[in-house]
């Protein structure tokens, strides 16, 4: 199948059950042995072929029994209810990894996911403030996740950490924050004190745009 050109530019959120810092970014094992979390994106501008994706949000919840590079993961896509059938198909085509170069985000995901659950189509409310390290993801009856700055355990002051990954396949730079998660759909889990990365990304078939 010939690959189709696509691009997704927008606000990116990765929240998980690990300690602050996300060991996956350092090729290390998950903090608690297993990885449960989510990746979410609000597309400010994007397309798949001739299908425009501006303004659409999507989320995937994930569950891995061990380090992500060992595979055997389960994934459930959650797509904005406002998306048309053409936009839904376009997003699923991108997520499939079939239109991405080897070693890029969606190609890698396609290799490490063993079980794909049926997608959920629901209204997605996503707020995102990169500079203040705050975000909120609300999908009634499906998922709730809140992000705020990490706090100093003594003074309570906001603590700032930024991770820079020049060769990252997910993002090149992100702000690290605190996440809570309540996932209620196919992959059910709760996280009271987890990791969050907020990033501005531009994903293409060749990987993260410079």
Domain limits of the chain? 6-208
pLDDT digits (tens, 9 = 90+) for 99-121: 999 999 999 999 999 999 999 99
pLDDT score at 164: 96
pLDDT score at 27: 87
Report residue 1's pLDDT band, with 50, 70 and 90 as the boundaries: very low
Instruction: Give the mean pLDDT of the chain.
Output: 96
pLDDT digits (tens, 9 = 90+) for 24-34: 899 899 999 99
Q: In the predicted model, is pLDDT for residue 2 greater than 80?
A: no
pLDDT digits (tens, 9 = 90+) for 120-172: 999 999 999 999 999 999 999 999 999 999 999 999 999 999 999 999 999 99
Q: How far is CA 175 from CA 3, 133, 153, 160, in A?
A: 33, 7, 19, 8
């Amino acid at each position: 199948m010939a690959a189709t050109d696509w691009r997704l530019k927008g606000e990116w959120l990765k929240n998980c059950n690990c300690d602050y810092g996300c060991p996956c970014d350092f090729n290390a094992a998950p903090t608690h042995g297993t990885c449960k979390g989510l990746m979410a994106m609000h597309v400010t501008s994007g397309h798949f072929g001739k299908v425009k994706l501006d303004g659409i949000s999507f989320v995937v919840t994930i569950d891995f029994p061990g380090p992500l590079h060992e595979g055997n993961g389960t994934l459930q896509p959650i797509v904005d209810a406002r998306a048309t059938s053409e936009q839904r198909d376009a997003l699923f085509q991108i997520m499939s990894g079939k239109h991405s170069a080897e070693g890029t985000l969606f190609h890698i995901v396609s290799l490490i996911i063993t079980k794909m659950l049926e997608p959920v189509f629901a209204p997605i409310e996503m707020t995102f403030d990169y500079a203040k390290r705050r975000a909120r993801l609300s999908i009634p009856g499906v998922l709730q996740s809140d992000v705020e700055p990490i706090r100093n355990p003594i003074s309570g002051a906001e603590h700032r950490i930024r991770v820079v990954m020049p060769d990252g396949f997910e993002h090149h730079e992100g702000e690290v924050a605190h996440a809570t998660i309540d996932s209620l759909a196919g992959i059910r889990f709760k996280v009271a004190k987890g990791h969050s990365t907020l990033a501005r990304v531009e994903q293409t078939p060749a990987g993260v745009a410079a």
